[in-house]
A and B are shown apart, each in its own frame.
Chain A
């Protein structure tokens, strides 16, 4: 495993498109963090910086940065399809890797990128929480850190879907377009078609995005106003409810398992030359 990781390290750290896309991811992430407080100054009563306080900061950042995972999936697609296009999968097999190793090295890359994304959001949330919080106790600060586990699973799932698309299509441009079409077109269209049915919550991308759902801003608002009065929550029924969190995690795990199994079957059967 260390050997496979080292091989990936040599390939990736010298690959400009990888470095550029990762820099873009970092930039988009950082810009988001800078821009939100700037918007905040123009909105009275409800201060957006409230959501940067412990313990809400963990949930809020996980929710708003979730779409960036698509960028990580694009990186995985780009790298995997290039292996096919440059015939370097073939070279690695000739010199002694098994076909399973080819998948395993990409899987390790996905794990490393997922850890990187989780670490980034973890450190950012921690920093913002320390800057914006009034009350600072260890218990409050750590209250919602469980979301990091879900964030890791979300990033991992996105990239595994990307990996499967790359293994299936092999062509870089077509794979990127297909993934984006799945994420931004097919999934929303299916959502609209199935809007009357509960099955809509089982759509793969929907279950992944629901891993880091929109935090309960209503409750936050209530706390901010220090209101004793209970707000009529029926007015907020339009807020998406979705599946039970554990069922949602189970569904994502099943989808990830299926995508990995499909990718494994593909790499075993694919012609590498």
Chain B
């Protein structure tokens, strides 16, 4: 897969605050890459640097294997934080400016406005738009010229539930067409629903990165009790039914391997002449895994 964005040793400080520390990332073509982290973790700073708004203190980055230049940004659709346009201009005129910058004709404007559900308001001033509409216009502007790469920073920020659903739907549609997506978000479920790869940031440092399925999976954990917990635990070792077993207050807590159901554990115990007297399923949520990961690093 072709390299789209490569970040090497990127660092940025604001006076005494280190916003990013020695960040390294590789994003390839066709990936939907999430930058996940709590507020102040350096997501926006990273995207601001790679889109030319900020200058890094140290490190480098390249787009499509080349040193950054304005021409590359014309082939990327970006939405960084809240979209900013000329408040006194209509939506169409604002998008005409973007088309002129990108060297595009105006024929694509109606299409992107339509996809953002703003076609009827095309003659309205930007200042008269609600926050949700502004966000959708920002997304529409990013889609002008049908770019192969989208860089979106908190695209659902400040939106009501309906607006969040609409914007997510728009982004998902773009991902389905094979576009490369770089999405910064502090909302775990958003990254999980949209992205296939994720980098977890905290206080400007990269904690972990890799496929979402590997980093953030909803493990199924069950509590089991039987007449002889030790025997069951021993029997399960070496099988591909559980990945982890521990004992808590006279109960076995086991993490099931992918695709294994609680019924299979029951059948396994029965085949070893062990009758299960207590079984409780408890799922470890993504949220708890994410918090665990962030907490581990603190320790």
Q: Are B103 and A3 in contact (CB under 8 A)?
A: yes
Q: Are B100 and A11 in contact (CB under 8 A)?
A: no
B87 at the interface (CB under 8 A from A): yes
Chain B's closest residue to A97 (CB) is B101
A10 at the interface (CB under 8 A from B): yes
Please name all residues of chain A whose beta carbon is closer than 8 Å to the beta carbon of B52 when the two chains form the complex.
93-94
A144 at the interface (CB under 8 A from B): no
Interface band, chain B: 20 to 34
Given A6-B100, A14-B93, is A91 in contact with B71 using a C-beta cutoff of 8 Å?
no
B180 at the interface (CB under 8 A from A): no
B185 at the interface (CB under 8 A from A): no
Given A94-B52, A95-B73, A101-B70, is A11 in contact with B89 using a C-beta cutoff of 8 Å?
yes
Question: How far is the CB of B110 from the nearest CB of chain A, in Å?
Answer: 17
Question: How far is the CB of A16 from the nearest CB of chain B, in Å?
Answer: 7
Q: Are A94 and B78 in contact (CB under 8 A)?
A: yes
Q: Are A91 and B84 in contact (CB under 8 A)?
A: yes
Q: Are B102 and A95 in contact (CB under 8 A)?
A: yes
Number of interface residues of A (CB under 8 A): 25
Partner of B97, one of A10, A16, A273: A10
Given A14-B88, A14-B89, is A94 in contact with B97 using a C-beta cutoff of 8 Å?
no
Partner of B141, one of A86, A88, A95: A95
> Considering the complex, which residues of chain B in the window 52-111 have a beta carbon less than 8 Å from any beta carbon of chain A?
52-55, 69-71, 73-74, 78, 80-81, 83-89, 93, 96-98, 100-103
Please name all residues of chain B whose beta carbon is closer than 8 Å to the beta carbon of A92 when the two chains form the complex.
97, 101
Distance, CA A92 to CA B81, complexed state (A) = 14
Q: Are A273 and B102 in contact (CB under 8 A)?
A: no
Please name all residues of chain A whose beta carbon is closer than 8 Å to the beta carbon of B84 when the two chains form the complex.
86-88, 90-91
> Considering the complex, which residues of chain A in the window 76-99 have a beta carbon less than 8 Å from any beta carbon of chain B?
86-88, 90-98
Please name all residues of chain B whose beta carbon is closer than 8 Å to the beta carbon of A91 when the two chains form the complex.
83-85, 98
B46 at the interface (CB under 8 A from A): no
Interface residues of B (CB under 8 A from A): 48, 51-55, 69-71, 73-74, 78, 80-81, 83-89, 93, 96-98, 100-103, 141
Interface residues of A (CB under 8 A from B): 3, 6-7, 10-11, 14-16, 86-88, 90-98, 101, 269, 271-273
- Kindly list the 6 A-B residue pairs having the minimum CB-CB distance in the complex, ordered from nearest: A96-B74, A87-B84, A96-B73, A98-B70, A95-B101, A94-B78
